[in-house]
Amino acid sequence: MKKLFSIMLAMVVTLLCTLSVSATDIGWGNMDDNIGGTAEPNWNYTYSAKAMISVSGDEVTGTSTVDGNSSVTKITITTELQLKEGNSWRSIDGRGTTVFTRHGSFTHTFKDVSDGTYRIKTIGRVYVGDKYETVYAYSTEMTV
């Protein structure tokens, strides 16, 4: 019985060691990344703004999410891909959408991205009638 158990255990360990796993790196950022997490932003209409980045090969996917309070009538959301150059960031591409609700999310995949360190910048313009505020959020940085 012990011999059979040892053989079965060895087979399970061998099987587990030969399995390959494929994963996509994901990094989330939020409104606190803009201010070091030391205080909440003083927004009038916005509850939260978030930016998410994921990398798979030479593709970078960015997701921007903006949530407003119950008075919000429209949100424009831009998802920008930013490249790190030295100690600064440069926006190299961006896409966006407009939603007529108090919650909005937009995802875009940037293809054929060259090697470098990237992050996603979320720009949200949150409207109540004809008044608005502009909010920003940044993802963590990832390398392609």
Q: What is the pLDDT of residue 16?
A: 44
Contact 77, 66 (CB under 8 A): yes
101 within domain boundaries: yes
Distances (CA, A) of 139 to 101, 116, 132: 24, 15, 23
CATH code where residue 106 lies: 2.60.40.10
**Number of domains observed in the structure of the chain:** 1
Averaged pLDDT for residues 63-87: 95
Domain that holds residue 41: 25-143
- Identify whether 118 is part of a domain: yes
Confirm whether 8 is domain-assigned.
no
pTM more than 0.85: no
How many Cα atoms are found within 13 Å in the side-chain-facing hemisphere of 24? 13
Q: Residue 41's pLDDT band (boundaries 50, 70, 90)?
A: confident
- Residues 85 and 107: their CA atoms lie apart, in Å, by 24
43 neighbors 136 (Cβ within 8 angstroms): no
Report the pLDDT value the prediction gives residue 28, as an integer from 0 to 100. 46
Residue 144 near residue 60 (C-beta atoms within 8 A)? yes
How far is it, in rounded angstroms, from Cα 22 to Cα 62? 20
> How confident is the model at residue 114, as a pLDDT?
93
12, part of any domain = no
pLDDT for 14 beyond 60: no
